[in-house]
Copies of this chain bind each other. A is one copy, B any other.
């Protein structure tokens, strides 16, 4: 069942201890859509500038992503640049030029209202809520960030009462809940009306809080991470894509989706931009999912682990 992804499409310039990439394709919607495209039909709603060009569109189309919802606006595409610490755990933003993204208004078609699954990437919570209310999907989740938690806290909390789930970073979850302890923060966020909460923990994996239960998935142990940019969005894409395909949002379905989120994030970090994420086979994905299940299993050693 199709997934609609609303978010940013950007050009990123990134420096890590393993190299540098200049003005390469990035953005939350991009990573999420490409990761989800291994599981289901994906449509992207976003905005780019006149400088975007055909090549990045071709890459998205090569994953059979419906890019007809990507508006081309007068001006330049969103640009972000940043640099990572030696262990890749700290990131410093060098510049953020929102450009056409600053006045982004998601353009929806009437037929989008039949799209059963929706992922609202990190944009203004009022825009996220607007899309959600117009589409009323069967299943929805969103992401957010410090900027909106601090600047549009009320709008964000209203959104959380309407969306099924939130995928968010560790520190952002604590900030949003106003609580230093992650477990208490999770409980507080769920009490706002969320059906489930996924807390993303970078190289430590991710944790799922839903109703009365908890599940933790480790990061797939990657030996040569090159660039963590987009890992959280790729997690969201693997997670949402798997849920869209399975149609199973039960406890077990969410847990299975966590495995695929972790797998897609692990591929994302193995190269800059979408170089690795954009060229996977189902076999590669399923192999890592199997290994991750074994890493979680008390019963047996995983053959051929790290």
Query: Which of A63-71, A92-100, A109-117, A294-302 binds B?
Result: A294-302
Give the residues in chain B near A201, CB-CB below 8 Å: 204
A128 CA to B225 CA, complexed, in Å? 35
Give Cα distance in the complex from A95 to B152, angstroms. 44
Contact with B along A220-240 (1 / 0, CB 8 A): 011111000000000000000
CB contact under 8 A between A301 and B223, given known A87-B180, A180-B86, A306-B187: no
Q: Quick check: is A81 within 8 A (CB to CB) of the other chain?
A: no
Chain A 34-53, CB-CB to B under 8 Å as 1, else 0, gives: 00000000000000000000
Residue of chain B at shortest CB distance from A184: B223
**Could you tell me the distance between the alpha carbons of A139 and B182 in the complex, rounded to whole angstroms?**
36
User: Closest CB-CB distance, A287 to chain B, in whole Å?
Assistant: 14
Cβ-defined contact, A296 with B296, below 8 A: yes
A151 adjacent to chain B (CB < 8 Å): no
Known: A180-B86, A214-B295, A259-B298. A186 touches B252 (CB 8 A): no
With A204-B204, A216-B205 as given contacts, are A300 and B252 in contact (CB-CB < 8 Å)? yes
Residue of B nearest to A85 (CB): B180
As a 0/1 sequence over residues 170 to 197 of chain A, the CB contacts with chain B under 8 angstroms (1 = contact) are: 0000100000111110110000000000
B302 engages A213 (CB within 8 Å):
yes
Task: State how many angstroms separate the Cβ of A35 from the closest Cβ of chain B.
Answer: 20
Q: Is the CB of B87 within 8 A of A183?
A: no
Residue of B nearest to A171 (CB): B87
**Does A215 interact with chain B (Cβ within 8 Å)?**
yes
- Which chain B residues lie closer than 8 Å to A183 at the CB level? 221-223, 306
Q: A293 in the interface, Cβ–Cβ < 8 Å?
A: yes
In the assembled complex, the CB of A254 is this many whole angstroms from the nearest CB of chain B, namely 9
For A267, list chain B residues within 8 Å (CB). Answer: none
A301 to B183, CA, bound (A): 17
- In the complex the two chains form, is B296's CB within 8 Å of A174's CB? no
Any B CB within 8 A of the CB of A19: no
Partner of A306, one of B87, B214, B297: B214
User: A305 to B181, Cβ gap below 8 A?
Assistant: no
